Chain A
């Protein structure tokens, strides 16, 4: 398992992460990000892409 953290002071709810890695990130009906703080290693590529496409670089991959 891997862990991520989203810095809510940076997150601007663009929703790009929910496109790149929908198993981990989703936008609720208020347009606010909800996410799974831990995810399976098999999803690492998708999560790295979500980190890349975040316009404000709010997503951090933990060790």
Chain B
């Protein structure tokens, strides 16, 4: 009888997993179950080019739909049919449609959803950026002169602030606990980016957080009303009026459907270095996870398991997970897993910041080139832990520079293997 691998999640992680299952020699059934009705698409443009100029809904979707490998044939795509429950011992999934689906192997690729700012106030007029529908809806509200408050200064918050400013909006960026992209870039470059954003017209608010969303009437919040959000109140009591609020305060892993199976779901789903999900008695041979929902050991820094929310993660992890799952289902030995090197980039007002490795885990940061206080003029920084280069970031430098610094990080080796020598 033909066996079936079910892939829960039909975004980039689900697509890359299905492609890599075929590349790993799996010729039996693959069914991919997705929440959104759209085929897998590329999300980085959602806060940048596509938010600036999406065109029609059809044009927007065409611009970001991911091309699929020609070898990825015979895949049963079931879009708009998210998984609501899994029974890993019975090997069955329950779909939102009520249908039950049996599987032999399972790929967890359900990704993330945006976290929300959990303070009192009206909901209407507050946006997040995760799906193409979010971007189309937000774009319609970003007109010249529109007052925009962006809450959160990570990659998405900074990109959205830059895009809205370039569309002529008056933008206030409420940073919250840390500066612009401070966690991945470090304090000094973050301060440089803040100056750059300010020069470009973004009003940056540091050291204060949002404590309340204001309503149109200005006389307090009525939980029963459908008033539109009219701004934010900050922790020092300041009020910032807004026509549009964008919340960019991070994400939450979509793992609720896996509850009750004895998995570690404390932050995403815990896996081993082969992306096999860890059950009560060790790694499961028939369940793997890919993408930013997976928490897996960081072999390069030796700092334990964590989730990696970068664009390259689905492809990197699918290449490891697919052969491990096929081997597990065939009762074969799991191949030695690679240790993927994380990488990321962001484009803000035409300057590109590219990073490699794990700069957020640095104990010490050194300037390798240029001046991080003036990021638009070009700079590179090295990030060290235990005396070893574990990451590098280039800012407004040509890509060959990024390749050069990437090689330095690669040459610095993998902590787990260095320790074993």
Contacts and interface: CB of A to CB of B under 8 A. Distances in A.
User: Does A pair with B?
Assistant: yes
Contacts of B66: 57
Interface string A19-63: 100000001111110000000000000001101110101000100
A19 to B, nearest CB: 7
A28 B404 CA distance: 12
A53 B403 contact: no
Nearest to B67: A57
Given A48-B69, A55-B44, A57-B42, A18 B312 contact: no
Contacts, number: 47
Contact of A27 (B16, B42, B398): B398
A31 B401 contact: yes
Nearest to B15: A52
Nearest to B49: A56
Contacts of B315: 49, 52-53
Given A31-B397, A57-B42, A57-B66, A15 B402 contact: yes
A31 B42 contact: no
A29 B400 contact: yes
Given A52-B16, A55-B345, A15 B312 contact: no
**Among the interface residues B16, B315, B400, which one has the most CB atoms of the partner chain A within 10 A?**
B400
B44 A29 contact: no
B221 interface: no
Interface string B373-417: 000000000000000000000000111111100100000000000
B398 A19 contact: no
A2 interface: no
Interface string B352-375: 001000000000000000000000
B44 A14 contact: no
A18 B398 contact: no
Nearest to A45: B23
B349 interface: no
Contact of A18 (B16, B311, B345, B399): B399
**Among the interface residues A14, A29, A49, which one has the most CB atoms of the partner chain B within 10 A?**
A14
A15 B16 contact: no
A19 B406 contact: yes
A13 B67 contact: no
A31 B398 CA distance: 4
Contacts of B70: 61
A55 B67 CA distance: 12
B67 A14 contact: no
Nearest to A20: B315
Nearest to A28: B400
Contacts of B42: 55, 57
A55 B46 CA distance: 13
Contacts of A49: 315
B403 A15 contact: yes
Contacts of B69: 48, 52
Contacts of A51: 67
Contacts of B403: 15, 18-19, 27
B372 to A, nearest CB: 19
Contacts of A57: 42, 66-67
B399 A55 contact: no
Interface string B175-193: 0000000000000000000
A31 B399 contact: yes
Nearest to B402: A15
28 contacts: A13-B399, A14-B345, A14-B354, A15-B354, A15-B399, A15-B402, A16-B312, A16-B343, A18-B403, A27-B398, A27-B399, A27-B400, A27-B403, A28-B400, A29-B398, A31-B397, A31-B399, A31-B401, A49-B315, A51-B67, A52-B69, A53-B312, A53-B315, A55-B44, A55-B311, A55-B345, A57-B66, A57-B67
Interface of A: 13-16, 18-19, 27-32, 48-49, 51-53, 55, 57, 61
Given A14-B345, A57-B67, 12 more contacts: A13-B399, A16-B343, A27-B398, A27-B400, A27-B403, A28-B400, A32-B398, A48-B69, A49-B315, A53-B312, A53-B315, A55-B311
